[in-house]
Structure formats: structure tokens, C-alpha cells
Amino acid sequence: MLRDASGNMVLTKGWKIFHIVTAIVLLTAIILLSVFLGLSKSSESAWMEMSENNFESAYYTLSDSLLNIENNLSKLRVTRSDSLSGEMLIEIAMNSQTAEANLAILAYSGYDMSALVKYCNQVGDYSKYLCSKITSGEGLNDEDYDTIGKLYETTYTVSKKLGEVKDSLMAGNKILTGMNELNQYFTDIADGLTDGSIVYPSLIYDGAFSDSLDESQPKALTGEDIDSSGQESRIRKILCDYEVESITYKGEGDNGFATYIYDVTLKDGSTVYLQIAKKGGSIVMWDKEFDSQEPKLTVAEGVELASQYMYKQGYKNMKGVYACVTDSVLYVNMCYVIDDTVIYPDMIKIKVNLDDGKIIGFEGLNYIYNHTERTLDKPQITEGEVRNMDFGGLNIESVRLALIPVEGGKERLTYEVFGRLDEYAYYVYIDAATGNAVKVLQVIDSDEGELLM
Amino acid sequence: MDKKLIAKRSVAALLVLLTVIVGIIAFSTISPAEETAVLKMGSSGSQVRTLQTKLNRWGYDCGTVDGIFGSKTLAAVKQFQKNNGLTVDGIVGAKTAAALGMTLTSGSSSNSSYNSSDVYLLAKCIYAESRGEPYLGQVAVGAVVLNRVKSSSFPNSISGVIYQPYAFTAVIDGQINLEPNETAYSAARDAMNGWDPTNGCLYYYNPATATSSWIWSRTVKLTIGKHRFAV
């Protein structure tokens, strides 16, 4: 920059050009920025609009599904044809699934939908249960029709209350921004379903979402209550693969029965979490932190180690029935076996580290709840008859007797048919008394384990 | 005043402007990378089997060919990428796959990997919510997710429970997208295999960071590490 004699700045031609260019650059930048900000503002409102549309679409689909459920429940009350009832029940189950999926979307807008989710889950599950009653030939009884009637009333009320949301939406409220206005409708429904002001029959049936309180008693617990202190030698015996450094009693736990919880520090510095039953001191579960290493032992060797551990801990007639390996960890399902019949409900899971052959975990809750001496019915059909049944091209690899748990805490004696079709493995369970297929399992997990014979 | 300097400055100013424009455009058009078929930690299935077989054959040690992309496979893939001048990220994308002489397909395999993606999701949730907690605390977080799947008041799938709005803070603040470590995977598998140190709990909270006041009203069943588990 140049200065004249009095010290004032003189702009040369070049500097003028520079200033003009700078001014243009700045101006363009400002214009561009404001255009961009304006655009992002408008894209924000576009996003808002899109979200609102999604939420409203979810709301309307939910309303439609509930209306369909209501309608089918209503018709069911006056239908006594099995095939027609079955169709209606399937409609209800499908619509409750749609309703649940849309409730999940609506919940993203911030409303608490858990009471409605529970309602949809139960209605769908109960319908499936009724449907299976019909297909098994049992049919529906008066009690079922009574429940259907009450469920109709529930759905009618819920639908009607949900309809009030529509009125509010039509009045210009938005799901996304009108929470103050709309939340009341949803809260009303939730409150009504939980405080009993909306008729809502308690659903007790053989299904996953039944209201039946889990009244099952731990069948395998016997003996006197033990003290939480003085269990050192017992705990050392349970962790016989390790050198115990110290044992800390953490307090009582509740698994439907009382347990004592301990933290055990081992000499190698790692910690074991351990739970034993207050009554008799059975192992409930324990788990040890480990580093996954290169497996050095085979699955068969690992299963053998698990069997030895079970024997040492005083469990008799336990056999490895299924094994699955991830990295160096082998999970073995050990089941009680009588008369060559696998008793699946009496299951204990053992974790073996295939690196050093040590047991690193034990889970015995199923065994504690279910194990008891049973008298099994004699199968009415033979293994040969099962092998000759039509399994649609399944290449049967093995058939054995197995007692399996069925819905509602019951047990059933079946033939377990294991086979492959294409690349998939299947387990088909055939009722040993009637020859009906009870359950089909497909191994869809690629953590595919192997059945141990 | 030399014109060169002015010209230089003008050019510099124009460059700044250009950068700003490009930046704005890039920023406003940023979009998530297109989903393509990749094999990475947690993947499983026949393609992983093929990958392991190939790597093993060429002297990279994947351990047993079990179809599961675990830590050993990861190490082998990284070694392969390093030796072949590829980006060492442990992810088998199109380039690594081509170098291995295999084609990756997507879509049809989604069904068969259903359960593995559940383990992956569960491990992600465990890692985001409870890394730094004792191992058992991590298994317990996994068990809480699975207990919710079983409960009628919650969605019926692992993804449904984890992505349920406002259920897990890690989903809200984006920590769910961190890659889980081996411990989180082990904890997830334990929980999937039935280990439940919580005795059926549906809730847990960290008293130091818990934000919902209602969670205090639940019966506390046990405390593992910093987390309290409630019915």
C-alpha cells in the first residue's frame, strides 16, 4: 500500500481491483450462505412434514387395525362354525400385529404406548391360542366366548377413544407438535386399560402372553434352608477347577425362590458371580469372565468334561444333548435322561473353555424348576412308524424319544425327528401317543450346534 | 504495487469462495453410504464359511471353519488386507472380496443370518450401555433386553426392544453405533443361551446417570457394578 506525503493512503489501480474482487467474493459468499440456510430451513420443515405424515399414517393404520379386530371379535360372538371362526381369529392375529408395528412407530413421537402394546400382544396371542384349539379339534367353549365378548367391549372402547384423536387431528392439531392436546387421549386409554375402567378381561390361557401368574414351584429344591455364611467349602467345591482367593456374600436374590448371591475372586484375579438356592444349596447359576482363545480341545472332549463336572457336582443321569461352539467357548445343554428318553425340561447349560478345558459357567434354573421323578407314559406308536411318516422329503438322520415342554407349563412325550432338507436342519416333534406333529424347529442360526447322540 | 500479488490474492479469495461452495454442497448432499454386501465381525453364514476356507487354504489362520466371523477371522482378514495392499479395516467389502476371488451377495442370506444379527444387535446394545461394567453386569443388560422381548408390555423382537423409543439412552445419543468388543459378544451369547443374573428384571438403571424419575419407584432386585436392576 502506498502513502502520499501527508501520510494518507493512496489506492493504486491494482489495489482497487483487489478490493472489488474481495467485495464480490464476500457478497457471493453471503448470498450463497443465506440461500443455503434458507434451503436447510425449508428442508427441515420438509422433514417435519414427512415425519408428521408418517406418524399420521401410523395412527390411521392403527385405527383401521383396531376396527378390524373389533369387527371380527363382534362377528365371532355369533359364529359357531369352526372354519369361519378360524378365519376370523387369523384376521385378528394379523391385525394385532399390524397395530403393534404402528404403535411402535407412533411411540417415536414421544407418546407412551406400552399399555396398548400389551393389549395388542395379548389379543393377537390369545387369538392364535384359540385358533390352535380349533385346529386341534378341541373347539371353543362357553368361557372362551365369554372372554371374546369382553374383549370385543375392550376393543370397542379403545377404538372409540382412539377416534377422538382423529377429531383433534382434523381440527388442525399435529401428532408431532400437538402433544399437549393429543396426549390426553392416549393417557386415557392407557389408564383405562390398567385401572379397570375399560373392561379388560384377564387372559389366562396357554400362551406366551397369558396373564396367568407364574405359579410354578421349583420342583427340584429339597432339603433344609442353609445359612448364607459358612458356605465356603460348598463354593470351593462348585468352583473345583479354580483356586479361590476370597468369597464375598452379596445378599439375597429372588428367582421365584430365595437365593444367596456371592462374588468370588479367584487367584488369577478374575471374578465369578455365583448364586445358590437358600433351600438345600443347589447351584442356580454361576458365570466366569474369560478370554476367548484358540480352541485346543474338540467338542467331544469338551462335552466329556462337562459330563464329568456334572457328575462331580452330584447330578446323575445327565447327558449332553446339544453342543454349540463360538470361538473357544463350548455351550453344552445337559439333560436328564431316563429310559433313553431325553427330558428337555430338566436342562442344565454348561460353558466349557475349549482352550484350557475348564468349566466357565453353569445355568440351572430350568432344572431347578422342572426336575422331578416322572413316570412316563408308554408310547402308543413305534419309532419305525415314525420313520415311515411323510416328512416332505426330509432326510431323517435320527429319531429318539424326548419329553418336551409345551405352552402353559405342560410336558409332552414325543419322538424327536432330526433331519436335513437342502442346507437346513430341522427338528420335528411327533406326539408319541397320537402321532400328530407337535412342533417343528428349524435351525436358522449359523451358530449351528450339533445334536449329541 | 505488483499485479502478481494482487492476482495471487484474488485467486486465493476465489479459492476460498470455491471451498465454501463445495463445502456447502457436500454438506447438504451428504448421504449415508450405500448399503452393500459386506462381511464383518459378527457376520455369519455360508459366505463366511467360504471366506474362512479360502483364508485358511492360503495360510491365514482363521481357526475352525465355523461360518462365524469372530476375532480370529478378523485378524486373518486384516493380515490378508495388509499383505495385499488393501485398506486394513477388517471388513470384507467388494475390493477385499475380489482379491480373495469371491463374490458377495446380499438379500437371500438375510433369513439365514437372522439369529446372528440378533447377537450382533444385542452385543451392540450391551457394549453401548454397559462397557466398563463387570462382565456379569454386561450379561445382565443383555438379559434385561431378552426379558423384555418375553414380556407382553414390550415389543416382541430384540430389535423392537432395543430401538424402542426412549428405552435405552445409548440409542438416543447414538452410542449404539459403536462397534462392540469381544466381551460384549460373549455377554450377548451368554444372555441368549439363558444366563440371567437379574432373575427376570425388566429394568435397570445407573443411579448416577438415571434421568427418568419413575424408575426409582420400581422394586430393586440387585445391583451389579454401577447398575441397579429392577422388576
Q: Where are the beta strands (DSSP E) in chain B?
A: 203-205, 220-224, 227-230
Give the residue from A26, A446, A450 with the most B CB atoms within 10 Å of its CB, the best one to mutate. A446
Res. A25 pLDDT band, cuts 50 70 90:
confident
The Cα–Cα gap between A129 and B156 comes to 17
The Cα–Cα gap between B134 and B227 comes to 10
Res. A317 pLDDT band, cuts 50 70 90:
very high
Does residue B182 have a pLDDT over 70?
Answer: yes
Amino acid, single-letter form, for residue B123? A
B43 close to B114: Cβ distance less than 8 angstroms: no
Q: Where are the beta strands (DSSP E) in A169-257?
A: 244-254
Same domain, B134 and B200: yes
pLDDT at B32: 37
Q: Domain for residue B173, yes or no?
A: yes
Of B20, B28, B70, the CB nearest to A29: B20
Residue found by looking up cell 399437549 in the block? A180
B38 close to B105: Cβ distance less than 8 angstroms: no
Q: Domain for residue B18, yes or no?
A: no
> Which cell numbers hold the place of A265?
475372586
Q: Domain for residue A438, yes or no?
A: yes
Same domain, A303 and A445: no
Q: Domain for residue B13, yes or no?
A: no
Would you call A157 an interface residue with chain B, using a CB distance cutoff of 8 Å?
no
Phi, psi of A198, deg, nearest 5? -100, 130
Contact between chains at B221 and A108 (C-beta distance less than 8 A): no
For residue A285, what are the β-bridge partners? A275, A363
pLDDT at A307: 95
Residues of B whose CB is below 8 A from A114: 153-154
Beta carbons within 8 Å of A170's beta carbon, 6+ residues apart: none
Amino acid, single-letter form, for residue A180? N
Query: End-to-end alpha-carbon separation of chain A, Å?
Result: 95
Residues of A whose CB is below 8 A from B5: 14
A175 close to A59: Cβ distance less than 8 angstroms: yes
CATH number at residue B127: 1.10.10.2520
A249 close to A196: Cβ distance less than 8 angstroms: no
User: Residues 60-99, chain A: which have Cβ within 8 Å of B?
Assistant: none
Q: Domain for residue B155, yes or no?
A: yes
Q: Domain for residue B204, yes or no?
A: yes
Closest C-alpha among A69, A52, A36 to residue A110: A52
Query: End-to-end alpha-carbon separation of chain B, Å?
Result: 80
Range of the domain at A101: 41-195
The domain tally of chain A equals 3
Residues of A whose CB is below 8 A from B171: none
* Helix extents (H) in A220-372: 232-238, 299-312, 365-370
pLDDT at B211: 58
Same domain, B122 and B78: no
For residue B220, what are the β-bridge partners? B230
CATH number at residue A148: 1.20.120
CATH number at residue A417: 3.10.450.40
SS3 label, residue A235: helix
Give the residue from B10, B73, B152 with the most A CB atoms within 10 Å of its CB, the best one to mutate. B152
> Which cell numbers hold the place of B59?
495360510
Does residue B30 have a pLDDT over 50?
Answer: no
Q: Domain for residue A316, yes or no?
A: yes
Does residue B169 have a pLDDT over 50?
Answer: yes
Same domain, A244 and A363: yes
Does residue A64 have a pLDDT over 50?
Answer: yes
Same domain, A245 and A312: yes
The Cα–Cα gap between A391 and A354 comes to 37
Q: Within a 13 Å sphere around the CA of A389, how many CA atoms are in the beta-carbon half?
A: 21
pLDDT at A87: 95
Residue found by looking up cell 495360510 in the block? B59
Would you call B94 an interface residue with chain A, using a CB distance cutoff of 8 Å?
no
Res. B114 pLDDT band, cuts 50 70 90:
very low
Same domain, A174 and A252: no
User: Considering only alpha carbons, which residue of chain B is nearest residue A329?
Assistant: B186
What 8-state DSSP symbol labels residue A355? T
Of B6, B136, B152, the CB nearest to A122: B152
pLDDT at A419: 92
Q: What is the mean pLDDT of residues B64-80?
A: 83
Distance from CA of B210 to the nearest CA of A (A): 18
Res. B73 pLDDT band, cuts 50 70 90:
confident
**Which of A317, A336, A368 is the last residue in one of the domains?**
A368
Q: How many CB atoms lie within 10 A of CB A415?
A: 23
Residues of A whose CB is below 8 A from B24: 32-33, 36
Same domain, B225 and B122: yes
Q: Domain for residue A215, yes or no?
A: no
- Record the pTM: 0.67
Q: Which residues of A213-224 are buried (b: 16+ CB within 10 A; e: fewer)?
A: eeeeebebbeee
User: Residues 32-91, chain B: which have Cβ within 8 Å of A?
Assistant: 44-46, 48, 63-64, 66-68, 70-72
Higher pLDDT, B42 or A351: A351
Residue found by looking up cell 467349602 in the block? A233
What 8-state DSSP symbol labels residue A225? B
Contact between chains at A326 and B221 (C-beta distance less than 8 A): no
Q: What is the mean pLDDT of residues A231-260?
A: 91
A418 close to A396: Cβ distance less than 8 angstroms: yes
Would you call A442 an interface residue with chain B, using a CB distance cutoff of 8 Å?
no
- How far is CA A166 from its chain centroid? 33
The Cα–Cα gap between A409 and B210 comes to 37
Residue found by looking up cell 365371532 in the block? A76
User: Considering only alpha carbons, which residue of chain A is nearest residue B7?
Assistant: A18
Beta carbons within 8 Å of A312's beta carbon, 6+ residues apart: A240
DSSP string for residues in A128-177: HHHHHHHHTT----HHHHHHHHHHHHHHHHHHHHHHHHHHHHHTT--TTT
Q: Domain for residue B163, yes or no?
A: yes
Same domain, B81 and B177: no
The Cα–Cα gap between B34 and B92 comes to 15
The Cα–Cα gap between A199 and A190 comes to 12
Contact between chains at A14 and B119 (C-beta distance less than 8 A): no
Would you call B22 an interface residue with chain A, using a CB distance cutoff of 8 Å?
no
Q: Mean pLDDT, chain A, as a whole number?
A: 87
Same domain, A312 and A279: yes
Does residue A142 have a pLDDT over 50?
Answer: yes
**Which of A147, A170, A195 is the last residue in one of the domains?**
A195
pLDDT at B33: 36
**Which of B69, B100, B131 is the last residue in one of the domains?**
B100
Q: Domain for residue A145, yes or no?
A: yes
Does residue B109 have a pLDDT over 50?
Answer: no
> Which cell numbers hold the place of A198?
375399560
Q: Domain for residue A150, yes or no?
A: yes
Res. A282 pLDDT band, cuts 50 70 90:
very high
Residue found by looking up cell 392407557 in the block? A190
The Cα–Cα gap between A395 and A206 comes to 32
Q: Domain for residue A204, yes or no?
A: no
Q: Domain for residue A109, yes or no?
A: yes
What 8-state DSSP symbol labels residue B92? B
Same domain, A330 and A424: no
Phi, psi of B36, deg, nearest 5? -125, 170
Same domain, B212 and B131: yes
Same domain, B148 and B217: yes
* ipTM of model: 0.70
Of B5, B68, B164, the CB nearest to A446: B68
Q: Domain for residue B7, yes or no?
A: no
The domain tally of chain B equals 2
Q: Domain for residue B35, yes or no?
A: no
Of A14, A33, A118, the CB nearest to B1: A14
Res. A156 pLDDT band, cuts 50 70 90:
very high
Would you call B212 an interface residue with chain A, using a CB distance cutoff of 8 Å?
no
> Which cell numbers hold the place of A432?
408319541
**Which of A166, A195, A224 is the last residue in one of the domains?**
A195
Same domain, B140 and B206: yes
Q: What is the mean pLDDT of residues A360-384?
A: 93
User: Residues 180-219, chain A: which have Cβ within 8 Å of B?
Assistant: 208-209
Res. B110 pLDDT band, cuts 50 70 90:
very low
B73 close to B86: Cβ distance less than 8 angstroms: no
Q: What is the mean pLDDT of residues A204-217?
A: 66
Model pLDDT for residues A73-123, shown as the tens digit of each residue? 999 999 999 999 999 999 999 999 999 989 988 887 778 888 898 899 999
Residue found by looking up cell 391385525 in the block? A95
pLDDT at B112: 28
Range of the domain at B85: 46-100
Distance from CA of A434 to the nearest CA of B (A): 30
Q: What is the mean pLDDT of residues B115-133?
A: 84
Same domain, B161 and B185: yes
Distance from CA of A258 to the nearest CA of B (A): 11
User: Residues 215-254, chain A: which have Cβ within 8 Å of B?
Assistant: 250-251, 253-254
The Cα–Cα gap between A92 and A99 comes to 10
Same domain, A45 and A191: yes
pLDDT at B137: 86
pLDDT at A95: 95
pLDDT at A180: 77
Res. B4 pLDDT band, cuts 50 70 90:
low
Same domain, B77 and B129: no
Contact between chains at A445 and B10 (C-beta distance less than 8 A): no
Would you call A266 an interface residue with chain B, using a CB distance cutoff of 8 Å?
no
Same domain, A62 and A175: yes
User: Residues 171-200, chain B: which have Cβ within 8 Å of A?
Assistant: 182-183, 185-186, 189-190, 193-197, 199-200
Same domain, A190 and A56: yes
pLDDT at B22: 57
Same domain, A183 and A48: yes
Same domain, B127 and B66: no
Higher pLDDT, A357 or A40: A357
Same domain, B80 and B126: no
> Which cell numbers hold the place of B25?
454442497
Q: Domain for residue A434, yes or no?
A: yes
pLDDT at A7: 58
Would you call B152 an interface residue with chain A, using a CB distance cutoff of 8 Å?
yes
Q: How many CB pairs under 8 A join A and B?
A: 159
Same domain, A63 and A191: yes
CA angle A441, A443, A447 (to 5 degrees): 145
Give the residue from B11, B61, B122, B199 with the most A CB atoms within 10 Å of its CB, the best one to mutate. B199
Same domain, B83 and B181: no
